[in-house]
Structure 1
Amino acid sequence: MPKINGNEIRPGNVLEHDGGLWVAVKVAHVKPGKGGAFAQVEMKNLRNGSKLNERFRSADKVERVRLEQKDQQFLYETEGMLTFMDATTYEQVELPADLLGDRRPFLQDGMTVTVEYYEEEALSLTLPEKVICTVEDTEPVVKGQTAANSFKPAVLDNGIKITVPPFVGVGEQVVVATETFEYVERA
């Protein structure tokens, strides 16, 4: 694995530090008036989710880890475990549903997700940026309500609550951003 200097750490880099795998969440380069410059790095553990703030001087060397990314198709869920299949080798793998966290409701049958592996260990799941959902419940359209930024609450078919523009009605399909849980457009 390549070693990089402490001042080369960027957000999103995966590092091996103190016997664990950490992803750099925030990086601030600090140049104090006295002493050498350093990078203040906020890191999140990929295995247990704990957070850590660490200072790295430019002379410090850290291991940068490259994760292998594989596209996998979601098949089914049983007892909190999600089963995925590799589209090229047809191998099936079971991963815990809590890898997705609060984005779990957006996972749909047959959806292709990106699974990141480190030496055969699955560390994270990435959903597509946008998914199509159906509006189950929302307020009826009020005639004459044309304010530019007026949104109304809506419940999607997966139980997620979002806000939608006033012209969206019950039964319509909408595109939702999986990272921000926001309405993007009509499908």
Structure 2
Amino acid sequence: MKVAASSLRKGFVVDMDGKLYVVLNVENIHPGKGTPVTQLNMRRISDGVKVSERYRTTETVERAFVDQRDHTFLYQDGEGYHFMNPESFDQLVASPEVIGDLGAYLAEGMVVQLSTHNDLPIALELPRTVTLEIVETEPSVKGQTASSSYKPAILSNGVRTMVPPYIAAGTRVIILTEDGSYQERAKD
């Protein structure tokens, strides 16, 4: 199905020259003079090559339809990341290239949206937030309350983030999966 290039969003799959690409980033550019354009950063599904394309907003691209279903993350090994469809109990293996940086936030038993095309995993969508524990952080310095200052912390999954000064090691916090930023202290 042909769609306007300006209507594409992150995670959409497009068909260009018979090859499938997953959209990684979309930027609509409106220069002061000239035609607005849409800059697409994409990854070719077959071999993982990243491609950057620029379209006029009026141009159309072929959108490929993918099957998007909930899957449960099971485990990771040398083959890749293993997921199970909770309805049919079919298992799929996604390569590390498909998962990318999101692999750090996967936890056993987590339900995620897995996009497949011809039973081949092509994209992953995590829940908006995850709850993780602070493993290591610097002690807060007394008197740093004049401005909202943040201090570095390492989460239980190894990711570094910035947290408010009152957060100590061992505290469970809610993290946004899209950028790894601190959201709030967990209420559990």
The change in CA–CA distance for 1:140 and 1:127 in structure 2 (over 3 A counts) is: same
Say which is worse superposed, 140-149 or 121-130, in terms of deviation.
140-149
CA distance in 1, matches of 2:109, 2:145: 38
CA distance in 2, matches of 1:7, 1:184: 33
What's the counterpart of residue 118 of structure 1? 117
Cα pair 1:9 1:27 within 8 Å, conserved: no
**Aligned residue-pair number:** 181
CA-CA distance at 1:118 after TM superposition: 1.7
What's the counterpart of residue 81 of structure 1? 80
Question: Can you give the 5+ residue segments of structure 2 that lack an aligned partner in the other structure?
Answer: none
Question: Can you give the 5+ residue segments of structure 1 that lack an aligned partner in the other structure?
Answer: none
CA distance in 2, matches of 1:54, 1:145: 46
CA-CA distance at 1:115 after TM superposition: 0.5
What's the counterpart of residue 147 of structure 2? 148
CA distance in 2, matches of 1:95, 1:116: 10
What's the counterpart of residue 27 of structure 2? 26
CA-CA distance at 1:97 after TM superposition: 2.7
Larger Rg: 1
What's the counterpart of residue 106 of structure 2? 107
CA distance in 1, matches of 2:83, 2:9: 28
Cα pair 1:40 1:55 within 8 Å, conserved: yes
Measured against aligned partners, the alpha-carbon deviations of 1:45-75 in whole angstroms (never above 9, x if no partner) come to 34124122233574x5532222221111111
Correspondent of 1:10 among 5, 8, 11 = 8
CA distance in 2, matches of 1:27, 1:38: 7
**Does the alignment pair 1:54 with 2:54?**
yes
What's the counterpart of residue 134 of structure 1? 133
Q: Secondary structure at the match of 1:98?
A: helix
Measured against aligned partners, the alpha-carbon deviations of 1:6-57 in whole angstroms (never above 9, x if no partner) come to 5664334432112222327223467966xxx574442413412412223357
**Does the alignment pair 1:158 with 2:157?**
yes
Q: % of aligned pairs identical?
A: 31
Measured against aligned partners, the alpha-carbon deviations of 1:118-149 in whole angstroms (never above 9, x if no partner) come to 22221011111111111111122334432331
The change in CA–CA distance for 1:82 and 1:52 in structure 2 (over 3 A counts) is: same
Cα pair 2:80 2:93 within 8 Å, conserved: yes
CA-CA distance at 1:3 after TM superposition: 2.4
Say which is worse superposed, 41-50 or 128-137, in terms of deviation.
41-50
The change in CA–CA distance for 1:145 and 1:91 in structure 2 (over 3 A counts) is: same
Q: With structure 2 as the length reference, what TM-score do the two structures score?
A: 0.82
CA distance in 2, matches of 1:68, 1:74: 17
CA distance in 2, matches of 1:46, 1:124: 11
What's the counterpart of residue 91 of structure 1? 90
